[in-house]
Amino acid sequence: MNKNAIALLTKLFEKDDENIDIMLKAIEKQKASISSWHSFEGLEWSDFAGISPGTVSTMSAVGILNIQYRSNKYKSYRFVNTDEVEQFINNYKKYKFVKSTRPTDYQNFNTSTLFEDIVGFDDLKVWINRSLTSAHRVNILLTGPPGCAKTLFLMELSKMSGAEWITGGSSTKVGIEELLINKQPRILLIDEIDKMDSKDFSILLPLMEEGRFTVTKHHRIDTVHIDCRVFASCNNKNKLTKELLSRFMEFNIPKYSKEEYVNVCINILTKRYNVDKGLAIKIADTTYDNMGGDIRRAINVANLCKNETEVDSLIETWKKYNK
């Protein structure tokens, strides 16, 4: 059975379980008619009562049914392979859903200590905190130039219980599937979502909209339900589709001023990385002037340098090879 046929039957059965019985009765009628001495004239619209004529026609288009007889006023069908459809139904009934076992009481999230290291953006912090504790799903997209606080917000969110991190440029569809199924995250963090392969969006779109996605394996479609909220960042939202953007609450973050950047660097380097305050000031000042004011670069410099002399030496080396 092809992917289109699998998708159609899955959607049909998820819409109403009674459609399974309708299909099984139609299969039984076809088998009984073929085994008798009467010639099989095909299945009529009435044999699929409860399923729309349009869906029956689509089943023919995707190869589930063939047209047995056609005239100006009449059309009848037959299943291409009754055994194949019955096998799919049995698999569907046996393993209908993969349900998330992770608790999803978002209103009990402790957000009191989040974003302490981020200078400013107090109003934005309020709404991101609100999205974490909302009774209903809200997905957040942070956009803006390199060197603003968008990745810092994701780094803070990564402290939350049940949070998992993906970098868009290194993700794959299989990797996202395995992460979601195995980890069942309550919070999915996607840095550089604009670099994610477009094929991955087939999982993200239904996950963000309905809290579920489908996995096709061995001619069977399984529906995975995960109550997950997505927080993402990107430099260029123009690479994202309208369908994806419509599922986000978007905030565009301006680049830090030098004063703001220096304050953020000092906070992060001294509190998280135990860097001496004087050295932190030196790193903040020189990385803003020479490396574009990117917090991640400042952290890299701090991890490499033990004193101010080494900071100057590293900056000169970096400038030499990044002309």
Least confident of 13-17, 214-218, 233-237, 269-273: 214-218
Strands (E), the chain: 65-70, 75-79, 97-99, 140-143, 163-167, 187-191, 212-217, 220-225, 229-234, 249-252
More confidently predicted of 296 and 313: 313
More confidently predicted of 113 and 289: 289
Q: How confident is the model at residue 123 (pLDDT cuts 50, 70, 90)?
A: very high
Name the fold adopted by 106-252. Rossmann fold (3.40.50)
The proportion of the chain whose per-residue pLDDT surpasses 70, expressed as a percent, equals: 89
pLDDT at 107: 58
Mean pLDDT of the chain: 86
For range 267-273, the mean pLDDT: 91
For range 295-309, the mean pLDDT: 95
Domain ranges of the chain: 3-94, 106-252, 258-320
The proportion of the chain whose per-residue pLDDT surpasses 90, expressed as a percent, equals: 45
Q: Who's near 180: CB < 8 A, 6+ residues apart?
A: 188, 203, 207, 213, 224, 226, 228
Q: In this model, does residue 99 exceed pLDDT 70?
A: no
* pLDDT tens digit sequence for 45-93: 889 988 998 899 999 999 999 988 888 778 889 999 999 999 888 877 7
Kind of pairing between the strands at 97-99 and 75-79: unpaired
Residues of the chain by 3-state class (helix, strand, coil), percent to 5: 50, 15, 30
Q: In this model, does residue 246 exceed pLDDT 90?
A: yes
Q: How far is CA 51 from CA 7, 22, 58, in A?
A: 16, 8, 11
For range 135-154, the mean pLDDT: 89
More confidently predicted of 216 and 165: 165
Least confident of 100-104, 138-142, 161-165: 100-104
Q: In this model, does residue 305 exceed pLDDT 60?
A: yes
Q: In this model, does residue 255 exceed pLDDT 90?
A: no
Do the first three CATH levels of 3-94 and 106-252 match, i.e. the same topology? Answer: no
* CATH placement of domain 3-94: 1.10.10
Q: How confident is the model at residue 94 (pLDDT cuts 50, 70, 90)?
A: low
Cβ–Cβ < 8 Å for 262, 281 = yes
Q: In this model, does residue 22 exceed pLDDT 60?
A: yes
